[in-house]
Amino acid sequence: MQSQPPLVTFYRMITEAPAPIRADRSALGSLPTRAYRHCDAVTSAAGFGWYLYPACDFDLFWDGQQVFWTTAGLDGWLPLGAAQFPHFRTRFDAAAPATVKEHAPPFLTAIQEPGVVQVWTGLAARTAPGWSLLLRPLANLPRQPGYEPYEGLIETDHWFGPLFTNLRLTRTDHPVSFRAAVPFLQVQPVPQVAYADGPLNTPALVEGLEAWSERDWEDYRTTIVLPNNDPAQHAGRYAAEARRRRRCPVLAG
């Protein structure tokens, strides 16, 4: 059988940037054991996509007006305008064709909204036709103190460029640290039809229980009533069924 082309291809532009890894169904071991064993809804959400990491260790500090930054090799804090990753511009220009030279993307940029910083992951990406990438906070993990990532959908099937995210700094009393060994974003593949205006603008609504069909009631009975009345039922039935459907989607349907 011919192998399918990858849904997503990541391009590492900054050599030091950690490679994306598959997101962890245990949310990096933070989920309660009972949730990990029995709640497929939670573990599937946690494991959907890939973790992205900062390209290097760095720190940001916002005093309420100006953002400052520092990293290894810098002598203290520098005011942030647009900062290149150390030595990246030279590497980029050495590898790029003449038409692209001098267009290395910045690593960090303080944009005009107060306390908002654009951070480049050091990566670019392509997706299969009709697929986009959603950059978002880590699923089912507590937020890191000091910043809040914005979510963004990028149509990477035709837009090819650096994978950036915007972070809103939320405190002014202490530096915010980013470490290359700790993921700070999750990226998820999304079919573009899922967020098209047509399907989103025309949801169906069943008004009240009186309008439920026989099928609706029977499905509710199968999902909720029968398991609760069966003494042989065990915790995690939904999780087991969901795993079976993923293994054999045609038979399960």
Q: Does residue 121 lie within any of the structural domains?
A: yes
Asked whether residue 137 falls in the same domain as residue 246, the answer is: no
Q: Does residue 26 lie within any of the structural domains?
A: yes
- The pLDDT of residue 244 is 62
Closest CA to 140 of 183, 99, 107, 102: 183
Quote the mean pLDDT of the chain: 92
Q: How many CA atoms lie within 13 A of 4 on its CB side?
A: 5
Asked whether residue 217 falls in the same domain as residue 150, the answer is: no
Q: Does residue 25 lie within any of the structural domains?
A: yes
Asked whether residue 178 falls in the same domain as residue 245, the answer is: no
- The pLDDT of residue 242 is 59
Asked whether residue 114 falls in the same domain as residue 233, the answer is: no
Q: In whole angstroms, how large is the CA radius of gyration of the chain? A: 23
Q: By the 8 A CB rule, do 117 and 67 touch?
A: yes
pTM given for the model: 0.87
- The pLDDT of residue 220 is 96
Q: What angle do CA 137, 43, 181 make, to 5 degrees?
A: 45
- The pLDDT of residue 12 is 98
* Least reliable range by pLDDT among 19-23, 145-149, 236-240: 236-240
Q: Does residue 1 lie within any of the structural domains?
A: no
pLDDT range class, residue 2, cuts 50, 70, 90: low
List pLDDT tens digits, range 129-175: 999 999 999 999 988 899 999 999 999 999 999 999 999 999 998 99
Asked whether residue 162 falls in the same domain as residue 43, the answer is: yes
- The pLDDT of residue 239 is 57
Beta partners for residue 10, in sequence order: 125
Asked whether residue 178 falls in the same domain as residue 229, the answer is: no
List pLDDT tens digits, range 186-203: 999 999 999 999 999 999
Task: Copy the structure tokens of residue 194.
Answer: 């899922």
Closest CA to 105 of 161, 187, 59: 161
Mean pLDDT, rounded, for 119-123: 98
Asked whether residue 152 falls in the same domain as residue 241, the answer is: no
Domain boundary among 199, 220, 238: 199
Domain of residue 240 covers 208-252
- What contacts 124, CB < 8 A, 6 or more positions away? 10, 11, 13, 160, 161, 162, 163
In order of 11, 49, 102, 110, 158, the CA distances from 161 in angstroms are: 10, 19, 15, 19, 10
Domain boundary among 163, 182, 199: 199
Mean pLDDT, rounded, for 173-190: 96
Asked whether residue 178 falls in the same domain as residue 89, the answer is: yes
Q: Give the count of domains, the chain.
A: 2
Closest CA to 184 of 123, 150, 137: 137
Place of tokens 């065990």: 234
Please give the share of the chain, as a percent, with pLDDT higher than 70: 91
Q: Does residue 32 lie within any of the structural domains?
A: yes
Mean pLDDT, rounded, for 86-96: 96
pLDDT of residue 251 exceeding 60, the answer is: no
Q: How far apart are CA 118 and CA 120, in angstroms?
A: 7
Asked whether residue 159 falls in the same domain as residue 230, the answer is: no
- The pLDDT of residue 250 is 46
Asked whether residue 185 falls in the same domain as residue 214, the answer is: no
Segment (H or E) for 228: helix 226-229
Asked whether residue 65 falls in the same domain as residue 187, the answer is: yes
Segment (H or E) for 165: strand 162-169
Q: Does residue 76 lie within any of the structural domains?
A: yes
Q: How far apart are CA 43 and CA 51, in angstroms?
A: 15
Q: Does residue 3 lie within any of the structural domains?
A: no
